Chains A and B, each alone.
Chain A
Amino acid sequence: MGSSKILYRAEPADQRLVEPLDMMTLIYQRRSGITHMVGEPVPQMLAAMGDDAVDAAILAKRLAKTFDLGGAADAVAVLSERLEELAELGLVERITDA
């Protein structure tokens, strides 16, 4: 798992309001005033990250305790992509580049 060395940290939980609505979840970001409409697995990812700096592999392990992620390698690849998207949105922070 040495390939995914980029670490991410979610914005502190008190910086966002989370409202699950049927098939989507609304996340209001206090810092920007932007409302994000997101689907699975984004709310689950943010919850599993907590306050820790994690990479996609660690996140996959945490999520695998509660969810059936299928193939581990696929899950890490998918989560890497989602983490990059969340960093672009400002919902997670990219901490270190390998």
Chain B
Amino acid sequence: MHEFRVQVGPAAFRIGSAWREPLAQMAELYRDYPQPEFTDFSVRLEPTGLLRRWLRPSVAICGDYMLPDAAPLPLAQGLLAAEMAMNLQMALGWRRHLLLHASAVERDGRVLVMTGQSGSGKSTLSALLGSRGWRFMGDEFVLLDPVSGDAVPFPRLISLKNSAIAAMQAVKPDGHFGPLLAGTPKGDIRHLVPPGDAIARMGQGGAPALLLFPRFGYPGEVREVAPGETFMRLTQASTNYVALGEAGFTTLTRFVRSVPSRAIDYQSGEEAVALVEQLWERLA
């Protein structure tokens, strides 16, 4: 069994694999991240059958927390399997923070949180802002500290899908990209290593100052979202709201009371960045 360890924000992972290649790719992409001695979660990539290690190998994800029906992936997508497994451990097992499915960027110690369905553009938008003077904090989970209310970074690899791949390559031609993973269950995927300051400052959180619900593909528009609706949408965007009990309730109500929120529609990255800057200026 090959092994790789990595610290992302407050969470430490140990990834074991029957094959060397996926871990070599991870070691290369996560080369600037700390390698922890003690870990919170263990993940294993294992062959689905005895001969599957050599014959058309496919990868099953095993770990502290597992989905019973997770479909195996071909070995060429081993990196994706490892990333999915790390997300799964966080979603099902993390208890120290309230987890929101959201992306986040920071400026002047204050945090912009963006949440929405897959395809809303929250991931691409956070990567784009990360190259425009904002500090990238994460594109998958935002962690809210139950004591301080701060948003804590979780800056794992940025997962670019389909048309977002070419869009980000145009913005960051010298970016550190992973291999192209073609034909995955989510289409084409390519990982991008977050900017250096995102990794160097991954222990530093900030106070949430603005919440956006972006939606890609509609004519530019900004709508107010009432606190009650925001609360409802965020309970749906959280993977551990119920598990945290009273701490989840007080953390989320504090967030909803103190952070203004807007829904924004946009048709291009440039349009979205301009909208974000306007709203940040006015509301944050």
Contacts and interface: CB of A to CB of B under 8 A. Distances in A.
Interface string A29-40: 010010101000
Interface stretch (B47-55, B147-155, B173-181, B223-231): B223-231
A35 B228 contact: no
Interface stretch (B114-122, B197-205, B241-249): B241-249
A47 B253 CA distance: 20
Contacts, number: 32
A30 B245 CA distance: 8
B250 interface: yes
Interface string B235-257: 10000001001100110010011
A54 to B, nearest CB: 28
Report whether over half of chain A's contact residues are helix, strand or loop; otherwise say mixed.
Answer: strand
A1 interface: no
Contacts of B245: 33
B242 A33 contact: yes
Contacts of A19: 253, 257
A33 B243 CA distance: 9
A24 B226 CA distance: 10
Interface in B163-196: none
B1 interface: no
Contacts of A28: 246, 249
A18 to B, nearest CB: 10
Interface residues of A, number: 12
Contacts of A30: 246
A14 interface: no
A98 B228 CA distance: 39
Contact of A17 (B228, B242, B246): B246
A23 B242 contact: no
A32 to B, nearest CB: 10
A21 B242 contact: no
Nearest to B250: A17
19 contacts: A17-B246, A19-B253, A19-B257, A21-B226, A21-B228, A21-B256, A21-B257, A22-B227, A24-B228, A26-B231, A28-B246, A28-B249, A30-B246, A33-B245, A33-B246, A35-B235, A35-B249, A37-B231, A37-B232
6 closest residue pairs by CB, A with B? A28-B249, A21-B227, A24-B228, A19-B253, A21-B228, A22-B226
